[in-house]
Amino acid sequence: MAGRPYILSETTWYDVARTTYEVAVLPWGATEAHNYHLPYGTDTIESEHLAAESARRAWEAGARVVVLPAIPFGVNTTQLDIPLCINMNPSTQSAILRDVARALAPHGVRKLVIFNGHGGNDFRPLIRELYPELPLFLCTLDWYKAVDPRSFFTDPGDHAGELETSVVQHIAPELVRPLSDAGSGHERRWRLSALREGWAWAPRQWTRVTADTGIGDPAAATPEKGRRYADAVAARIADFFIELAAADLNDLYA
Ligand SMILES: [Zn+2]
């Protein structure tokens, strides 16, 4: 029994040698606390699952998309006071991205999508730096920005809230503790108005912002909400993969 042909870790050289992949997808998560009820691997689990589901739909529509193994560590420099939160600095991420992209570039893959699932990761400056070095189209997406969540959730939340809890209840229910164990995800906001309004920015010291490591109340989460939202996200991103696979890199602007 062969593995899924759009998941590289399940694919053999027998198939790779016969396939021209147009788009590679690199899921990128984090390893961090998610309130009391979601697993540390939440961002990685979500990214890996949704990348696979998006790629499956694109593959079935004829696009040759391949999902690479997920990178499980994100930028968590302001959470190092939380036990077993694992930080990976942006400069380390840049080195990893460069190595992965360099390995793909000589083998016909012309397009690489970073499938990001962690708010602390920002691949845009990394891509800007790599751009002149490689004959590869690099882009990044945050899966949780692909579809407006407001018609799916009462209060989506930011971290281990209703949105994220619903998604994990849908894709990995065995890893979710009862919601009665979860904190309220109450968020303390900046006293400085420019930071509160969002036109000035600084990273937040997580343990000063939230008592339970969550931001957003998970109480109204359900697996059914997670399924509906995850389906919409995967459908939208699959459409992007299909369009990107077919895109002429010399004719990207109308
Ligand atoms: Zn998360």
Distance 95 CA to ligand 1 centre (A): 23
pLDDT in tens, 167-182: 999 999 999 999 999 9
pTM of the model: 0.97
Neighbours of ion ligand 1 (CB under 5 A): 42-43
Q: Residue 243 and residue 253: Cα distance in Å, rounded?
A: 13
Distances (CA, A) of 149 to 22, 161, 229, 247: 30, 12, 7, 28
CATH superfamily of 8-246: Creatininase (3.40.50.10310)
**Ligand 1 geometric centre to CA of 218 (Å):** 12
CA–CA distances in Å: residue 3 to residues 76, 177, 234 = 33, 31, 20
Please, what is the average pLDDT of the chain?
97
pLDDT digits (tens, 9 = 90+) for 24-61: 999 999 999 999 999 999 999 999 999 999 999 999 99
Q: Where are the domains of the chain?
A: 8-246
